[in-house]
Amino acid sequence: MRAKLALLGFFFLVTQARAAAKISDIKVQLDGERVLATFTLQDAFDHRFSERVDSGLPTSIYYQIELDRDRKRWWDQKLEDVTLEVVALYDAVARSYTVHYKLNDKLIESKTVRDRKALEEAMTIIDRLPVFEVERLPKEGRALIKIQAETGSRTLLSFIPVAIKTDWKESPKFRAPRQP
Amino acid sequence: MPLREKLLHHRKNYRLIFGGLGALLLLFAALFYMAQRGRDLPSALVTNKMLLFVLWYVNVVLILIILFVLLRNLIKLLVERRHRVLGSTFKFKLVLTYVGLSLIPVLLLFAIASELLRGSIDRWFSTPVAPVLERGNAVAQALYDQIGATNVRDASRVLREIHGLDLRQAQQRPRLNRKMGELLPELHLDLLAVYEGRELVNAMVNPQTGIRDLPEPDLSFLEEAAKRGEATTAGGAPGTKGSLLLAAVASPAGSASLPPVPTTEAEREKVRPPVIVIVGKLLDPVLAAQRETLVQDYQAYRQLEVQKDDLRASHMLLFFMVTLLILLASSWTGLYLARRVTVPIQALAEGTRRISSGDLSHRVDVEADDELGVLVDSFNRMTQELESNKELLERSNRELTTSNERLAAERALIAAVLQNVAAGVVSIDSEGRIFTCNGAALDMLRQSEEEVVGRGVDEAWGDRERSRLAAVVHEAGQGAPEETAAKEVHLTLGGEWKTFEVKVTALRDAAGAAQGRVLVIEDLTELIKAQQLAAWNEAARRIAHEIKNPLTPIRLAAERLLRKHRVGDPGLGQAIEEGVEIIVREVVTLQGMVDEFSRYARMPRPRPAPVDLGRLVGETIHLYQNVKPGVDVAAEVDSQLSTVWIDGEQVKRALINLLDNAVEATDAPGRVRVSAHASNGHLEIQVIDTGRGISPAAKEKLFLPYYSTKGRGTGLGLAIVHRIVTDHQGSIRVEDNAPQGTVFTVELPMG
């Protein structure tokens, strides 16, 4: 009990557990006035995550996407951030997965897939997602996009909830298009 | 504080306490209600991640609050203990006991309850429900899989049957229709539809099923079939309660996505989407419902199992929260109670400190309605009384100071008077210690102030000579308190013979209580010398007179003889006889006178011996009885005075002298009485007559030698009496007898 109490304070500070999953293949494209992000979340579907999805519980992956201005000798400056929530809901009767995409809590797309592989792809491969406006990019200097995924939560010492998050992953740095 | 404010304050205090208790009760009721409702809530909500985090952060806030409350008060208590604030130890112990008493059982309860909860939740999922549900779900899914496989096979046959038909040609439609019409009953299908891409080409429904309308398949279903070649799904059938199991087969397969339905002929010619055949079989509603229930139950169980950790966490967090609330309540209550006890004590201690530093206006302003309140009220009353007493005291002190100043001035005046009076004045306190001694007394007694003041009379006057003075004080102390004793004391100081008259007077306050004595000492030495000189002058005059008296007859007789002889008178012989007789008689008189003087001058020192006083007085009285007709001479001797130590002959002579005078001074009818008795350790002999009395002027010279009021005699009688008495270390005084006559009192020391 004493050890638990001692650890309690420690784990309070460390409430963010590191996930085995990781963000990869971040690509940024400028499409007219929009900044499109493409990325992949690898190794998100572990046993615990799959069990939760197949149980029919709404299972979400939160992608925290930040637009930063690159600074060489200091921390990058955050310009804007968005949250993409990908929610999967399994219908055991119909044996299909419904996947909803919410950008800043606003539903932007829904799709139904019928197998696990399709579901995994639907939840972890984000292709050309319009995340920011080009006008938000810094006029001078370079910008970059940072992405972190939260794949759920687990409990420490049976009662301390801990969010499972990936490390932040940075995109290649890019510049805003020159104004004519 | 006025009573009304006090009551309002108390009411507010009680309101706060009851409000806090009510809020706590409501909180526990809400928690209990939530716990009860938790059973009915969807498990997803109970184990919602947000709820878990909210509960956790509530707990963290509670932990922080408790830590803050405890640490803050702990630090305060430690600081108070270090500064030795009164009541801090008691407060520390009370808080520690209260928190400890609540902490230990609550934490134990939490540990046991959490372990029980953990075990219970684990046991829920260790029951053989999971395999049963899993197998039931597998059976239900197998049925669907089997029907789905049949459907795929039937759809493939239909696809084969219609292979070669150009579905875009209108003339081919009847043939397609006929073919589908044949296959629908043959394959026992309830639904048969042919799609070209997303576009429906033809569809048929078994009319016996009651399906009112063609169910619209999901685009994803068509796309999956186009991509993978086949797909199965289940869905509702419009107009029926059953479940429609659908299977789709596409040819050719492998399309990534289905193009939209073309709107122009050019587009239609350009795009050739795959042909998709969909067959459907309506499942019995009861069977479908049972299967659906079975699947849902299994899913519900899986959800619970998945959320097992979250469920446990949420319950434990609720437990933890309740534990923390109890801890918070108990620690706060402990602190509150400790404060209620120690605050009045500290206020009282502070009040005591302020009072001791002289601030009597300080009042303890602490509200308490228990015994401490009584103590605080008593303290405030006490300080109020102290303050009023102090004011009284200060006023009295001022008055006393004024009075003292006045008294000091008076005392200085009296001291100045005493210092300047010729008589020596010595004051002695009730314990026999000399309080003051003026300069005249010091000069008379040849002593310094340091030798006398502050010492007892025996210590100050301890030497042989001055001890007689101390004896006078002691004798006066043995007498009646209100009396003033006076005595003549002879001291040899510095080789000089001194005679003092010492008067001892009792000092009494207004209530009559003895405060001591005052000695007034008068130096009679010079006066006595003067009196003696005067007495000797008188004696010389009297002696001359007495001598002259016999000399005159002697001279006359002698001259007569001489004349007769010269003339040859024949009567010379007779004249000689007569003349010689006269001369001899006068010479005898002169001889007697000279003898008397000689005796007075040669009076021996008394030789005390045991004497029967009654007998001595009786013999003396006997000499004067019947001497003077009409004058009664009697004696009263105390029977207890059988034997006294005196010189009997000398005392008898003194008595004879006194009786001689008394009888002579008393005319018939008259009375002379001699009384003897003991008084204050002295033998007191009184000779009382009812005679003519003595004038005040005569009284002063009465005991001087050769002083006589009778016009005859030597005038040595009373001088001899005085000499005998003083030689016995006694005293003699003369007073008027009431209503007539004189009283001579002789005091002799007994033993």
Give the gap in angstroms from C-alpha B235 to the nearest C-alpha of chain A: 7
**Which residues in chain A come in under a pLDDT of 70?**
1-19, 179-180
Token reading at B96: 């520690």
Interface test with B, best of A55, A60, A116 (most B CBs within 10 A): A55
The pair phi, psi for residue B339, each rounded to 5°, is -65, -40
Predicted confidence (pLDDT) at residue B740 exceeds the cutoff of 50: yes
* Cα(B280)–Cα(B195) distance, integer angstroms: 14
Instruction: Give residue B700's identity as a one-letter amino acid code.
Output: E
Question: What is the rounded average pLDDT of the residues B181-193?
Answer: 89
Predicted confidence (pLDDT) at residue B478 exceeds the cutoff of 90: no
Per-residue pLDDT, A9: 47
Residue A160, sorted as left (phi over 0), alpha (psi -120 to 50) or beta, turns out to be: beta
* Cα(B330)–Cα(B62) distance, integer angstroms: 13
Cβ-based contacts of A54 with chain B (< 8 Å): 302
Which helix (H) or strand (E) element contains residue B612? Answer: strand B609-612
Predicted confidence (pLDDT) at residue B3 exceeds the cutoff of 50: no
Q: CA nearest B230 in A: which residue?
A: A114
pLDDT interval class at B39 (50, 70, 90): low
Per-residue pLDDT, B712: 63
**Pick from A1, A51, A160: CB nearest B111:** A1
Query: Quick one: CA torsion of B342, B348, B354, B357, rounded to 10 degrees?
Result: -110
Per-residue pLDDT, B216: 80
* Cα(A143)–Cα(A137) distance, integer angstroms: 7
**Pick from A96, A154, A159: CB nearest B233:** A96
Give the gap in angstroms from C-alpha B217 to the nearest C-alpha of chain A: 12
Whole-angstrom distance between the N-terminal and C-terminal Cα of chain A? 68
* Cα(B424)–Cα(B469) distance, integer angstroms: 13
DSSP A97: E
* Cα(A124)–Cα(A46) distance, integer angstroms: 13
Per-residue pLDDT, B296: 84
3-state secondary structure B185-252: HHCCCCEEEEEECCEEEEEEECHHHCCCCCCCCCHHHHHHHHHHCEEEEEEECCCCCCEEEEEEEEEC
Residue B455, sorted as left (phi over 0), alpha (psi -120 to 50) or beta, turns out to be: beta
- B43: nearest Cα among B363, B415, B303, B404: B303
Per-residue pLDDT, B38: 56
Cβ-based contacts of B141 with chain A (< 8 Å): 95
Predicted confidence (pLDDT) at residue B419 exceeds the cutoff of 50: yes
Contact B292 A114 (CB under 8 A): no
For residue A100, the SS3 value is strand
Predicted confidence (pLDDT) at residue B713 exceeds the cutoff of 70: no
Token reading at B336: 């509150």
Question: What is the rounded average pLDDT of the residues B525-550?
Answer: 75
Per-residue pLDDT, A147: 95
**Pick from A56, A96, A159: CB nearest B316:** A159
3-state secondary structure B81-150: HHCCCCCHHHHHHHHHHHHHHHHHHHHHHHHHHHHHHHHHHHHHCCCCHHHHHHHHHHHHHHHHHHHHHH
pLDDT interval class at B9 (50, 70, 90): low
Contact B303 A113 (CB under 8 A): no
Q: Which residues contact B192 (CB under 8 A, 6 or more apart)?
A: B158, B180, B183, B184, B203, B204, B277, B278, B279, B280
Predicted confidence (pLDDT) at residue B171 exceeds the cutoff of 50: yes
Chain segment B371-400, per-residue pLDDT in tens: 778 888 888 888 888 889 888 999 999 999
Give the gap in angstroms from C-alpha A173 to the nearest C-alpha of chain B: 33
pTM of the model: 0.51
Contact A94 B296 (CB under 8 A): no
Q: CA nearest B138 in A: which residue?
A: A92
Contact B312 A158 (CB under 8 A): yes
Is the CB of residue A28 less than 8 Å from the CB of residue B15? no
Q: CA nearest B119 in A: which residue?
A: A158
Question: What is the rounded average pLDDT of the residues B456-472?
Answer: 86
Predicted confidence (pLDDT) at residue B325 exceeds the cutoff of 60: yes
Is the CB of residue B434 less than 8 Å from the CB of residue B465? no
Per-residue pLDDT, B751: 59
Cβ-based contacts of A154 with chain B (< 8 Å): 309
Residues 86-105 of A with CB under 8 A from B: 90, 92-96
Chain segment B635-660, per-residue pLDDT in tens: 998 888 778 888 888 899 899 989 98
Predicted confidence (pLDDT) at residue B735 exceeds the cutoff of 50: yes
Beta-bridge partner residues of B491 = B498
Mean pLDDT over each residue of chain B, to the nearest integer: 81
B657-to-B198, B512, B663, B704 alpha-carbon distances in Å: 182, 43, 10, 14
* Cα(B352)–Cα(B356) distance, integer angstroms: 6
Which helix (H) or strand (E) element contains residue A87? Answer: strand A77-91
Q: CA nearest A12 in B: which residue?
A: B60
Which helix (H) or strand (E) element contains residue B747? Answer: strand B742-749
CA B254 from centre of chain: 103
Per-residue pLDDT, B674: 93
What order of strands is seen across the sheet that includes strand B275-283?
B199-205, B191-196, B275-283, B243-251, B230-236
Whole-angstrom distance between the N-terminal and C-terminal Cα of chain B? 81
**Pick from A55, A95, A159: CB nearest B317:** A159
Token reading at B718: 């009373």
- A30 vs B: CB within 8 A: no
Predicted confidence (pLDDT) at residue B45 exceeds the cutoff of 70: no
For residue B311, the SS3 value is helix
